[in-house]
Amino acid sequence: MNAHEIDYILHGDDMQCVEIELDPNESVVAEAGGMMMMEDGIDMETIFGDGDNSQKGFLGKLVGAGKRVLTGESLFMTVFTNKGVGKKRVSFAAPYPGKIIPVDLSEMGGKVICQKDSFLCAAKGVSIGIDFQKKLGTGFFGGEGFIMQSLEGDGLAFMHAGGTIIRRDLQPGEKLRIDTGCLVALTKEVDYNIEFVGKVKTAFLGGEGLFFATVQGPGTVWIQTLPFSRLADRVIASAPSAGGGDSRGEGSILGGLGRLLDGD
């Protein structure tokens, strides 16, 4: 194997973290800021690129870093290496309510394509790059833009998505329409495209958007029930007004009584 062979345990339900167990000299690569805790003996190093063991020299690292910039990520990633004696553990936490998805790339044809920002961490040796969608319609209307992330290699990678995660193994020719924000990831053999809703009235008044993501098997897709953008929209809509108005008791029959007891 090119990637390091790591072991892991998932903790929690709605706000999960993944605990990675590293043998001496084993490493895991993660996005900056994803680490929750680590045991003594683990060395943390910031690197250019994605930690792919196949990259040689400064030019290879620069190419890896450039790929990450195109997906809107940082130039740098963090490598956590067990420099101690015996097994050591490092944990990474999910950034918002949802599930962590472990994927063994060696069982997925060596490549998984995912939404940007869904990558959490991976065994060192996994390449975290970009995947250009070939069809312009997918790029302009796909919800996540023309560029998606690709995870390539033969090791373990971990993605995160919102709400509950549904995995669908599509048979050859089987087709599924998915809200563009709910599609998390797919294997490389899945045919991915964008399809217009079809009826103008439904598109503008139905509240489901103008386009669907269509995926056709064979292959595997992962779908999330709560895209972060949808969660953020609800939070913003429920937040107090920018003018600093008092929102206590809004929507509650006790609102007026609460203000009276406060002396308002």
Mean pLDDT across 136-149 = 54
Domain boundaries, the chain: 7-232
Amino acid at 146: F
Q: E strand or H helix at 84, and its extent?
A: none
pLDDT in the model for residue 153:
92
> Tokens in use for 216?
């056709």
- CA 103/CA 121 separation, integer angstroms: 11
> Tokens in use for 226?
């709560």
The pairing of beta strand 175-179 with beta strand 183-187: unpaired
CB contact set of 143 (below 8 Å; sequence gap of 6+): 180, 181, 183, 211, 213
The yes-or-no verdict on residue 41 having pLDDT over 80 is yes
Mean pLDDT across 168-192 = 91
Query: In the chain, what is the greatest distance between 2 CA atoms, to the nearest angstrom?
Result: 70
The better pLDDT of the pair 76, 172 is held by: 172
Closest CA to 182 of 245, 115, 227: 227
pLDDT in the model for residue 203:
46
What are the pLDDT digits (tens) for 86-112? 999 999 998 888 899 999 999 999 999
Domain 7-232: which CATH class?
Answer: alpha beta
- Using an 8 Å Cβ cutoff, are 91 and 38 in contact? yes
Closest CA to 18 of 95, 74, 75: 95
Mean pLDDT across 144-155 = 77
The yes-or-no verdict on residue 179 having pLDDT over 90 is no
Highest-scoring range by mean pLDDT, 33-37, 108-112, 203-207, 213-217: 108-112
- Using an 8 Å Cβ cutoff, are 34 and 93 in contact? yes
Least confident of 40-44, 68-72, 146-150: 68-72
The better pLDDT of the pair 74, 227 is held by: 227
The better pLDDT of the pair 205, 63 is held by: 63
Amino acid at 244: G
pLDDT in the model for residue 171:
95
Q: Binning pLDDT at 50, 70 and 90, where does residue 72 land?
A: low
Mean pLDDT across 9-24 = 92
Share of the chain above pLDDT 70, in %: 69
The yes-or-no verdict on residue 253 having pLDDT over 50 is no
The yes-or-no verdict on residue 16 having pLDDT over 60 is yes
Partners of residue 129 on adjacent β-strands: 150
- CA 246/CA 21 separation, integer angstroms: 48
The yes-or-no verdict on residue 234 having pLDDT over 80 is no
- Strand segments, DSSP code E, in 23-146 are 27-30, 35-38, 42-48, 76-82, 88-93, 98-104, 111-114, 119-123, 127-132
Closest CA to 128 of 14, 32, 38: 32
Closest CA to 84 of 138, 178, 162, 21: 21
The yes-or-no verdict on residue 221 having pLDDT over 70 is yes
